[in-house]
């Protein structure tokens, strides 16, 4: 993920929506990022996406995955 002072979170959601499974996003605050993404997901109507903290690395990543996809994990971004 490209690091900027004001990341374009909508880009992440659209990119996850277009991916086969989803994305893994590195973050220093998973809960804060999830909260922002939930609000933006609703605004953009991308209700096919969900956000999960993985069992390993949950303090540094969240997964943005498609709800209708069964997987062992998304691709890393």
pLDDT tens-digit map of 6-64: 458 999 999 999 999 999 999 999 999 999 999 999 999 999 999 999 998 788 999 99
59 occurs within a structural domain = yes
The residue with greater pLDDT, 5 or 9, is 9
- Please tell me the total count of domains within the chain: 1
Query: Looking at residue 4, what is its pLDDT?
Result: 35
Bridge-partner residues for 63, per DSSP?
A: 24, 52
77 occurs within a structural domain = no
2 occurs within a structural domain = no
Containing domain of residue 19, as a range? 9-68
73 occurs within a structural domain = no
* Residue 19: closest CA among 46, 37, 44, 56: 46
The whole-model pTM stands at: 0.74
17 occurs within a structural domain = yes
4 occurs within a structural domain = no
């Amino acid at each position: 993920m490209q690091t900027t002072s004001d990341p374009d979170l909508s880009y992440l959601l659209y990119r996850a929506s277009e991916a086969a499974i989803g994305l893994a996003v590195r973050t220093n605050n998973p809960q804060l990022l999830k909260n922002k993404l939930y609000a933006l997901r609703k605004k953009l109507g991308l209700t096919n996406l969900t956000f999960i903290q993985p069992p390993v690395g949950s303090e540094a990543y969240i997964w943005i995955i498609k709800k209708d996809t069964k997987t062992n994990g998304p691709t890393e971004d």
